[in-house]
Amino acid sequence: MDGIHDLGGKEGYGPVPVTEGDAPFTHDWERRMWGLAREGICPSMTIDWFRHGLEVMVPGDYLTFSYFQKWATNYLMLLVDAGQITLEDLERGYVIEPADPARAKTVDEIVEQVRRACTDFSVPEDAPARFAPGDSVRTLRRVDHPHTRLPAYARDCAGQVIAHHGSHLFPDEGAHNRHVGQHLYTVSFSARELWGPDANPRDSVTLELWESYLVPA
């Protein structure tokens, strides 16, 4: 989606402030937010639906909320969308009839949960690949899906396919709970193709791009 979240290649936002060194959390509630997310508080969520939720945030909130504040806000939206809580629950600040506390998990159960989280997103191929390593391609100028993994800075740019990875779940459709596959490629772009003549001619950028983002050059 062409929104405020797509900041790649854009200038004028200033440096990224780092005030806590390498500490992963600034506040204790952020640690709890991370733990709740890893526990799977919204079972119906997919990674692309989560990303899409962040993308449709009010731009002013997106630019001013902290990293984990975005997470917390997005999870509340996902929980309402999944019917696990209501807007009235949010306004009240608690659920009137909460569920019983979950049973404590064993170490083996936690290890198995982590193993399942390392998901393979490859899917069976139902059509031959349109491109092969060495092919010259061009990315689309416009993407109609409200969620996409084709960044704005790489639109309408010529590159070369350097790898084909088979068919993988297509995120544009996954954001709408439609689980379909497309061929996935690694495409290399010269820095000058992306950033103009002032870029270093020795530099290049590689992107993993789905087939429908590409046309023959």
Q: Which residues contact 122 (CB under 8 A, 6 or more apart)?
A: 165, 166, 167, 168, 181
Q: What is the domain range of residue 95? A: 28-117
Angstrom CA distances, 121 to 104, 111, 126, 127, 165, stand at 29, 20, 15, 17, 11
Residue 131 lies in a domain: no
Q: Are residues 141 and 110 in the same domain?
A: no
**Residues 105, 155: one domain?**
no
Q: What is the pTM of this model?
A: 0.80
Work out how many domains the chain is built from and give that number: 2
- Distance (Å, whole) CA 206 – CA 54: 25
- The mean pLDDT values, 10 residues at a time, for the chain of 217 residues are 77 78 84 86 82 90 93 93 90 88 81 73 91 98 87 96 96 86 97 95 97 97
Contact 157, 138 (CB under 8 A): yes
Residue 82 has what pLDDT?
86
Residue 108 CB neighbour total at 10 angstroms: 8
Q: Domain of 192: which CATH number?
A: 2.30.30.50
Return phi, psi of residue 35, to 5°. Answer: -65, -40
How long is the chain? 217
- Rounded CA separation 211/186 (Å): 10
